[in-house]
Amino acid sequence: MKTKDIFEKNFPGAEIEWIGLGSYRINTRTGFIEYDGKKFTHPVGGADLYRGIAQSMKDMGYTSMTVDGSEQHIVASMAAGAEVGIDVIPEIGKKTSGCLTLLSWFVMFAVCKAIAGVWLGDAESSFAGFAAATVLMVFWGGPILDKRAEREARLRGQIYRNTLPDVHGHQRFYEP
């Protein structure tokens, strides 16, 4: 099933615009959302929008979806996910701090400059330290800092997990 067909099925009566490169803008009667080929961004709207997002993710073959943003957005996404049967993983503050990245680069530069100074002598150590620190930050430090930020965001998002009680169909509401 094509992506546009999935959107037409899950957002009844919505106007679906193809933006380009697999991106769509979906205008419903209560709001709009954009899909960039991998994720939904900029949600503005009501319950029909959140239900359509969750059902579309399920129809695309995903068993879970990750959300970040305001408390209202997270709770609305979790409610829609529970309704259609998809796990919603909340994240809060996923961005890596620019100051932390810059500080990490300076620490790597100092260590690489010291090591290069011992091996190459003092004349070439500044350039070698700069080059080594930049390469380390791009290929090693950046991904580690991004993984760390993602892990911390998921931990902060755990306060929202299991906040919605199971009311309909839960065992405790049936009499023996």
The residue extents of the domains of the chain are 3-91, 98-154
- pTM, to two decimals: 0.61
Query: Residues 160-176: pLDDT tens digits?
Result: 666 555 555 544 444 44
Distance separating alpha carbons of residues 175 and 172, to the nearest angstrom: 8
Query: Residues 22-51: pLDDT tens digits?
Result: 889 999 888 899 998 888 888 888 888 999
